[in-house]
Amino acid sequence: MCLGEGARNANKAAKRQYQYQLAQRERNWMNTLALTSVQRVQYDQGIDSSNVGLQNFYGEMQEKYGDLIGQSMQEGEQGWKDFLKTDEGAKMAASGQTGRSAGRISVTELGDYLSKGSRRAYQLTQAQEKMSDASAKMAAQTRAQQMQLFAQNNIVRNPELAPPRPVMQNVGMAAFKDALSIASSVAGIASGFGSLGGNKLTLTDKQLTALQIPGGG
């Protein structure tokens, strides 16, 4: 029997377990880094996508407002043409009727034409305000979305805590205890022989060597 063999085996097992834990910790950290890299790419793509969506929304609002202006101008031109065709005051003046009645009719029809133009201008102003409100809400939603993406990725990741180093057994002390145990057993055997025959038990050199305490390690 090799003295302290149990302690050596226990130390080897503890060392293997410690190395396994270190390797597992490194694998987990590498997986975390890979996942973080993927999440970072997704974050950048999310930010770009939200910015593009917001710019597209702005473009749609401007296009709609431009269409409204064009429609209003066309209606104004058509209204002016209709006014010239149906201006009874002008027709009366052309026929030689230049009294107050002709003047009142002309002023009334001109006022109606100008009133229609004012309503179109008001409608354009209202439409512009609504589009501005819609654009502001869209910008706020985009900002909130980007902040949420940022919060999801603004996490400082660290590797797991390193496992504690194993506490190694003292091989020398274990061997010493083994030797004491062997010595006690030998003493017990010698005592048994002495009680039987009164003869002294003599140990050989090889047996005495086996009882020597190793230096440890």
For residue 137, pLDDT beyond 90: yes
Instruction: Quote the domain boundaries for residue 195.
Output: 171-210
Whether 97 shows a pLDDT value over 60: the answer reads no
Of residues 29 and 2, more confidence is placed in 29
| Residue 171: CA count within 13 A, CB half-sphere | 14
- Count of CB atoms within 10 A of residue 18's CB? 15
Spatial contact of 92 and 102, defined as CB atoms under 8 Å apart: yes
- Mean pLDDT in residue range 33-38: 90
pLDDT tens by residue, 157-208 = 888 888 888 887 777 776 666 666 666 666 666 565 555 454 444 555 545 5
Cα–chain center distance at 100: 79
Q: Is residue 217 part of a domain?
A: no
Q: Is residue 163 part of a domain?
A: no
Tell me: the pLDDT tens digits for 194-204? 554 544 445 55
CB atoms within 10 A of CB 159: 12
Both 135 and 191 in a single domain? no
Q: What are the Cα distances from residue 207, in Å, to 120, 182, 186, 201, 211?
A: 120, 10, 10, 12, 7
pLDDT at 105 exceeding the cut of 80? no
Confidence of residue 72 (pLDDT cuts 50, 70, 90): confident
Q: What is the CA radius of gyration of the chain?
A: 51
Instruction: Give the predicted TM-score (pTM) of the model.
Output: 0.56
Structure tokens at 217: 């390690």
pLDDT of 57 > 90? The answer is yes
**What are 138-152's pLDDT values in tens digits?**
999 999 999 998 888
Structure tokens at 118: 């004012």
Tokens read off for 78: 């058509």
pLDDT at 118: 84
Other CB atoms within 10 Å distance of the CB of residue 51? 12
Does 176 lie in the same domain as 142? no
Question: Does 176 lie in the same domain as 133?
Answer: no
* Domain-embedded: residue 166: no
Q: Give the span between the Cα atoms of 181 and 173, in whole angstroms.
A: 12
23 and 90 share a domain?
yes
Task: Give the mean pLDDT of the chain.
Answer: 76
183 and 135 part of one domain: no
Is residue 128 domain-shared with residue 194, that is, in the same domain?
A: no
Residues 39-56, mean pLDDT to the nearest whole number = 92
212 secondary structure, DSSP code: S
pLDDT (0 to 100) of residue 213? 45
161 occurs within a structural domain: no
Residues 162, 70: Cα–Cα separation, whole Å: 71
* Together in a domain, 177 and 145: no
- Residue 111 and residue 31 share a domain: yes
What confidence tens digit (pLDDT) does each residue in 109-128 have?
A: 667 777 888 888 888 899 98
Are 83 and 113 contacting, i.e. CB atoms less than 8 angstroms apart? yes
- 31 and 70 share one domain: yes
Q: How many domains does the chain have?
A: 2
**pLDDT exceeds 90 at position 24:** yes
Instruction: Tell me: do 198 and 115 sit in the same domain.
Output: no
